[in-house]
Amino acid sequence: MDKTTDEYRSRHYPIQEDMRAQRVEWVLQRSGNWLLYVIVVIALLGGFSDGWLSETSKANAQGTLTVEYQRFLRSESDEPFTLRIKGEPDKPVTVRLAGDFMDKFVIQTLRPQPLVTHSSTHEISLTFPATKTGEHAVWLMTQPQTAGLFTSQIALEGADAVTLKQWVYP
């Protein structure tokens, strides 16, 4: 007991110690270690994009459009979106990308290429050629340009929009 308290007493020779500050530092270091462990675990689970916590999909009310996307994104890194569309057979489909999508993302790649592209002030409409089954998929690779909470709408013409809320880390 005596020795315990003695070790935590500040010495004055040969140097001036400050054991109170030292003990605070140790406590902060230990809790800091835990903080670092937690960050690694969250990153493994996908809390900072790319993982179980982050990957999700959302469909519109009619079930004709399903968007596969990430809840968490990172600014200036490549982030994928996949649109799966169940349209009518032998009819072209038009997809509208609106909200923050066009203003805050840069589309790196877009597969397949649309037949026609229309734009208005904050949105773009892409028309894809008809398929026999009416099923389509669009693969987008995008890059968020800033950080923050992004709200985008992706809609199939003639159906409800899918609203995506995404958090973008700096």
Partner 1 sequence: MESVLRAAGMYVLLLIVLKIAGRRTLLEMNSFDFVLLLIISEATQQALLGNDFSLTGAAITIITLIVLDILFSYLKNTIPRLDLIIDGSPLILVENGKLLEKRMRRSGISEEDILSSARTSQGIERLDQIKFAILEKNGKIAVIPAEKQES
Q: How many residues bind partner 1 (CB under 8 A)?
A: 21
Distance of CA 9 to CAs 14, 19, 61, Å?
14, 6, 68
Residue 29 contacts partner 1 per CB under 8 A: yes
Q: List the one residue out of 112, 99, 55, 60 whose CA is nearest residue 79.
A: 55
- What residues between 49 and 88 interact with partner 1 by CB under 8 A? 76
Among 32, 89, 112, 148, binds partner 1 (CB under 8 A): 32
Asked whether the beta carbons of 152 and 109 are under 8 A apart, the reply is no
16 binds partner 1 (CB under 8 A): yes
* Least distance from partner 1 to the Cβ atom of residue 8, Å: 7
For residues 99 and 163, the answer to whether their CB atoms sit within 8 Å is yes
Binding site for partner 1 (CB under 8 A): 4, 7-8, 11, 14-18, 21-22, 25-26, 28-29, 32-33, 35-36, 76, 170
